[in-house]
């Protein structure tokens, strides 16, 4: 961590009261189209968490996998997250964080599709779902954070970060919605809703403007 070089920027110590902060936040949301689109992509792409807590239950209830496979699934997800850093580092450094967001959201779209299409006689294919989830989750964390830092002016960065954290509230509620769908409808319907929602985020991601011009 000590080897990381941070850019030298002005330090702004002025503090706003809550009312002034809200006015500033609304001004930013109104004037910054790229920021609004980014928030939309973040929420829609975060819909991978609709089905996230239920893949193991699906594998157990529908694919009849043994409990020992659960550890393999979770290990596959962790391994995918670790290995994905090589990809995200390259894309972030040499292409841009917009592409990190796009690829990670796309992988999050493929995971429930594979879950939906996995035949009952081939449960080991489900390992791929967890590898893709590891890639997607790590990529979205890296891509969203870095993209936000790229587009936020240094003076307004705390406001950009705060508004982003507040408006991510729907992502927190997604697993609850997913649980309701599983309980009252079906796993398949949950996967379809996840695919459609994340797909909307993937399509919207093409409207993001890459803030950095990186020399290849």
Q: Where are the domains of the chain?
A: 41-205
Q: Give the dihedral of Cα atoms 211, 214, 165, 140; nearest 10 deg.
A: 130
Burial 135-145 (b: 16+ CB within 10 A, else e): bbbbbbebbbe
d(CA 121, CA 137) in angstroms, rounded, equals 28
- On whether the pTM is more than 0.85, the answer is yes
pLDDT at 11: 66
Q: Is the dihedral of CA 4, 97, 114, 54 positive or negative?
A: positive
58 neighbors 187 (Cβ within 8 angstroms): yes
- Tens-level pLDDT at each residue, the chain (216 residues): 788 777 777 666 667 777 887 888 889 989 899 999 999 999 999 999 999 999 999 999 998 888 888 899 999 999 999 999 999 999 999 999 999 999 999 999 999 999 999 998 888 889 999 999 999 999 999 999 999 999 988 888 888 998 998 888 889 999 999 999 999 999 999 999 999 999 999 999 999 999 876 433
Query: Distance between the two ends of the chain, CA-based, in angstroms?
Result: 26
- Domain range 41-205, CATH class: mainly alpha
- pLDDT value at position 216? 38
């Amino acid at each position: 961590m000590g080897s990381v070089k941070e850019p030298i920027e002005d330090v702004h110590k002025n503090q706003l009261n809550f009312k002034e902060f809200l006015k500033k936040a609304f001004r930013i949301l109104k004037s910054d189209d790229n920021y609004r689109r980014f928030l939309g992509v973040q929420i829609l792409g975060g819909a991978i968490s609709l089905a996230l807590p239920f893949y193991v239950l699906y594998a157990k209830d529908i694919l009849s996998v043994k409990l020992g496979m659960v550890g393999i699934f979770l290990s596959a997800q962790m391994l995918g997250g670790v290995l994905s850093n090589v990809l995200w580092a390259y894309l972030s450094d040499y292409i841009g964080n917009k592409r990190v967001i796009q690829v990670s959201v796309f992988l999050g779209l493929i995971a429930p599709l594979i879950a939906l299409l996995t035949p009952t006689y081939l449960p080991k294919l489900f390992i791929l779902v967890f590898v893709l989830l590891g890639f997607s989750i790590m990529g979205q964390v890296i891509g969203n954070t870095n993209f936000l830092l790229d587009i936020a002016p240094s003076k307004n960065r705390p406001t950009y970060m705060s508004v982003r954290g507040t408006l991510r509230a729907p992502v927190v509620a997604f697993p609850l919605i997913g649980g309701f769908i599983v309980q009252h409808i079906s796993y398949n319907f949950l996967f379809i809703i996840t695919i459609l929602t994340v797909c909307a985020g993937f399509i919207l991601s093409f409207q993001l403007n890459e803030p950095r011009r990186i020399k290849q």
